[in-house]
A and B are shown apart, each in its own frame.
Chain A
Amino acid sequence: MTGLTQTEMEALSGRIGRRPNPVETSIVAAEWSEHCSYKSSKKHLAMLPRTGAHLVDDSSYDSAVLDVGGGYVITVHIESHNHPSAVEPFGGAATGVGGVIRDILSTGTRPIALLDGLRFGDIRSDSHARWLLRGAVSGIAHYGNCIGVPTVGGELGFDPCYADYALVDVAAIGFGLKTRLIQNHAEPGDAVVLIGGSTGRDGIGGSQFASDSLESDDRSAVQIPDPFTEKLVIEAILEARDAGLLHALKDLGGGGLSCATSEMSDSLGVGMSIDVGQVHTREELASHEVMTSESQERMLGIIAPGSVADMQEICAKYGIACSRIGTVTESSDLHVHDSGADLARMPVGIVANAPLLDLPRTRPAYLEELARARVPDALPGGDYSASLLSLLGSPNIASTEHVYSRYDHEVGIRTVVRPGRDAALLRLDNAKYVSLAIDGNPAHCYVDPRAGAAGCFEEACRNTVCVGARPIGMVDHMQFASPQDPEIFWTFIESLEGISEYARAMEIPCVGGKVSFYNETPSGPIKPTPVIGVIGLADSAPKNPAVADGDVIVAIGTSRNEMGGSEYYSHVHKTVAGSCPQVDTGSSRACLDAVLALHDGGLAKRVHDCSKGGLGVALAKMCIWEGRGCDVALDGAPGCADMGADVALYSESHSRFVAVLGAPDAQQALDIAAKSGAACAVIGRFGGSSIGINYRGRSVASVGLQDASDTWHTSLERTAHG
């Protein structure tokens, strides 16, 4: 298996002026895989705005570095481990966690929190999807809990397009002193060291595996998680950082040593000579296997030649291996040898930079069919009680407590807002708070990739302001099927443009991200699934005063008839029709500012955003959380007066929130919202034992609080266990 196309083989031969030998071919094949090289996407990723006040601009880091003041930085990264998780959910998800933790560690910061975004097929009817869910959750719990990094949030979604497949996204946050960041640099003569786990045959060809569809996989790329070793790697690296030993550091991920050595050399502008005979292995391996193995829990370091003994002493103290595997050279070549016998010699600039593609794209035909699809009629009788209760039990809406209760979300004692709420919030040493929310919505992105992707971004911003934090950066994770299909590639570019437009309008920089292509199964491509993580910064944590009967419920933001891709249509009517919610950046800014102003003024007791299931589900969840019923006139909410009860209840328009306020504060809150330019109205009060929603003077939904609570809390667990 060379993994290089004929065109690429010719390009490589042309660039190096000869035919590459088999070892060289396997090194370049690993690095030029889609997974490592971003060859299909790189030209287009340049459209994302990448400058911002907090961003520490250094492209040599594997994760984003943001200055949060007081001499501290946070680091953020997002990765996926979809292909490995689809065939071995426990190990795939666990090693996904391990990989993103090492990306955080490679900057010299300590990982302090994890979030997971998981997507599977329809667990109501698909026992394989249930098996994948159980395995992935066990893998994340195993790795995170063993290593002592809290899993503080994430999301869980289901769609038949992921049948026999899994999307496992992992985001991580690191924290540290700015002065302790590793200042990646290298001098000729510096030693190259490999730190951590031993190299074996597990995971060979993983990056190419991730760049193929599962249909063609040979299922050899299974990686075994070892959180015990990774914990020791973290402590050894941080001690070496404090001792000033590390000149440069990089995680070994996809493509193993091939990618780590060539990318590190290329970014530092040096050459490297690597002796595969010095790599600590757990079994006999061929040279090309040593270079492409993706064995886990390994880091590549550059240190002064005189520091090798000190580095080895630190590693020995933690019981992990540290091999000197090579030397930084003045040349611009990646030279690989086995105890002096040459195996490969190529310029790093060639190895690390695959020929970039500019793939064709065309608008998908399915969008025309969707545009013609008939919108379901309003329900006869106009009673939506049953549909509201049913939606609360939908796997995409029901409580995920069954999943996150398996994760340790408190270890490290930074967690302020725990999983299950809008965004995670963590306490930092500089008396500030950092939040992270990750959001995706394949249903919206399928109907309109551009508006859907911008909507995911806005949803993550909404969740951020709900915990009182201001968005300071974004990481995007673009998950699509084969870019070779012009219709798929069109959806990728549309999504990217939607994200870029919103980022520019809101002045929130893209600080990092990942592209994952070839997410498809024998039954077809997945829906476009961009997942957006938004990082927020807050000066204080929400005070969460007690909510009482008589407190007023306020709707912020304007509802529109935007039912396309709604959970109501897919869950209740089993259809996709209508227009997808659009993000209006002016309204978005006004509503986000209004919520932050309410937080700053100490007026809002609670704020929750409207997303899946619209205002109806947002109100019901608020009642369940507070253990109180409500009496709401939905036609009083901005934009709702003339749209019909079903649309008012379930439209998933963006830039909307539900807030709870003490009655005496209501007018002041409305004034604050108006000052920010946000539409805002009192729509009801808490009280009673049922969720009562009226529309134009008539009850349209009345659900007992206990029924709603039981359904929301227990549905996912019951469904997950078949």
Chain B
Amino acid sequence: MPVFDVRVTIANKQSLPDPEGATILQDLVRRNNNTDVTEIRTARLLKFKVSAPTAQDACKNISEMCRELRIYNPLVSEVSVESD
């Protein structure tokens, strides 16, 4: 069975604040006069290597696994799962 690279990105929902990103923006980026940057959002990136019949199956399996293991809280986080 082929092995696929699957990337899971977990970030606070867009409607919720992201203090870490805001701190990087205010205290690092803006302080160096990068005024063209208007927002920074942080996220956690998990990289999986997974055997599956197709890339679509790989994404589906990993997506379900993350949900079952409560790797993120759906109440707070939005998640994207993608594969090459």
* A-to-B contact residues, CB < 8 Å: 87-88, 90-91, 131, 135, 198, 200-202, 219, 222, 224-229, 282, 295, 319
Determine whether the beta carbon of A200 is less than 8 Å from that of B17. yes
Determine whether the beta carbon of A226 is less than 8 Å from that of B17. yes
Per the bound structure, the CA–CA distance linking A135 and B23 in Å amounts to 23
Determine whether the beta carbon of B16 is less than 8 Å from that of A224. yes
Determine whether the beta carbon of B17 is less than 8 Å from that of A131. no
Give the chain A neighbours of B15 by CB distance below 8 A.
201-202
Determine whether the beta carbon of B16 is less than 8 Å from that of A222. yes
Determine whether the beta carbon of B19 is less than 8 Å from that of A228. yes
Determine whether the beta carbon of A87 is less than 8 Å from that of B70. no
Determine whether the beta carbon of A202 is less than 8 Å from that of B16. yes
Most buried by A among B19, B23, B27, B70: B19
Determine whether the beta carbon of B17 is less than 8 Å from that of A219. no
Task: With A88-B76, A91-B76 as known contacts, state yes or no: A224 contacts B70, CB within 8 Å.
Answer: no
Residue of A at shortest CB range from B24?
Answer: A228
Any chain A CB within 8 A of the CB of B75?
A: yes
Per the bound structure, the CA–CA distance linking A228 and B22 in Å amounts to 10
Tell me how far the C-beta of A332 lies from the nearest C-beta in chain B, rounded to whole angstroms. 36
Per the bound structure, the CA–CA distance linking A91 and B75 in Å amounts to 11
User: Can you offer 23 A-B residue contacts whose CB atoms are under 8 A?
Assistant: A87-B75, A88-B75, A88-B76, A90-B73, A91-B76, A135-B73, A200-B16, A200-B17, A201-B15, A219-B75, A222-B16, A222-B75, A224-B12, A224-B16, A224-B18, A224-B76, A227-B19, A228-B19, A228-B20, A228-B23, A229-B19, A295-B17, A319-B27
Per the bound structure, the CA–CA distance linking A201 and B18 in Å amounts to 13
Any chain A CB within 8 A of the CB of B26?
A: yes
Interface string of B1-34 (1 = CB under 8 A from A): 0000000000010011111101100110000000
Give the chain B neighbours of A225 by CB distance below 8 A.
19
Interface string of B24-55 (1 = CB under 8 A from A): 00110000000000000000000000000000
Tell me how far the C-beta of A317 lies from the nearest C-beta in chain B, rounded to whole angstroms. 13
Q: Would you list the 5 A-B pairs with minimal beta carbon distance, nearest first?
A: A226-B19, A228-B23, A224-B17, A131-B70, A224-B16
Tell me how far the C-beta of B78 lies from the nearest C-beta in chain A, rounded to whole angstroms. 13
Determine whether the beta carbon of B70 is less than 8 Å from that of A202. no
Give the chain B neighbours of A222 by CB distance below 8 A.
16, 75-76
Give the chain B neighbours of A295 by CB distance below 8 A.
17
16 additional contacts (CB under 8 A) given A224-B17, A229-B19, A319-B27: A87-B75, A88-B75, A90-B73, A91-B76, A202-B15, A222-B75, A222-B76, A224-B12, A224-B76, A225-B19, A226-B17, A227-B19, A228-B20, A228-B23, A282-B17, A295-B17
Per the bound structure, the CA–CA distance linking A295 and B73 in Å amounts to 19
Per the bound structure, the CA–CA distance linking A88 and B26 in Å amounts to 27
Determine whether the beta carbon of A319 is less than 8 Å from that of B19. no
Tell me how far the C-beta of A67 lies from the nearest C-beta in chain B, rounded to whole angstroms. 37
Per the bound structure, the CA–CA distance linking A88 and B20 in Å amounts to 18
Determine whether the beta carbon of A319 is less than 8 Å from that of B76. no
Residue of A at shortest CB range from B77?
Answer: A88
Which B57-76 residues have C-beta < 8 A from chain A? 70, 73, 75-76
Residue of A at shortest CB range from B12?
Answer: A224
Per the bound structure, the CA–CA distance linking A714 and B46 in Å amounts to 30
Give the chain A neighbours of B26 by CB distance below 8 A.
319
Residue of A at shortest CB range from B13?
Answer: A222
Per the bound structure, the CA–CA distance linking A91 and B20 in Å amounts to 14
Residue of A at shortest CB range from B17?
Answer: A224
Per the bound structure, the CA–CA distance linking A90 and B17 in Å amounts to 15
Per the bound structure, the CA–CA distance linking A227 and B19 in Å amounts to 8
Tell me how far the C-beta of A591 lies from the nearest C-beta in chain B, rounded to whole angstroms. 46
Determine whether the beta carbon of B73 is less than 8 Å from that of A88. yes
Give the chain B neighbours of A319 by CB distance below 8 A.
26-27
Tell me how far the C-beta of B14 lies from the nearest C-beta in chain A, rounded to whole angstroms. 10
Give the chain B neighbours of A131 by CB distance below 8 A.
70
Residue of A at shortest CB range from B23?
Answer: A228
Tell me how far the C-beta of A89 lies from the nearest C-beta in chain B, rounded to whole angstroms. 8
Per the bound structure, the CA–CA distance linking A197 and B23 in Å amounts to 12
Per the bound structure, the CA–CA distance linking A568 and B15 in Å amounts to 49
Residue of A at shortest CB range from B69?
Answer: A131
Per the bound structure, the CA–CA distance linking A224 and B19 in Å amounts to 8
Residue of B at shortest CB range from A90?
Answer: B73
Most buried by B among A135, A225, A229, A295: A229
Give the chain A neighbours of B19 by CB distance below 8 A.
224-229
Give the chain B neighbours of A229 by CB distance below 8 A.
19, 23
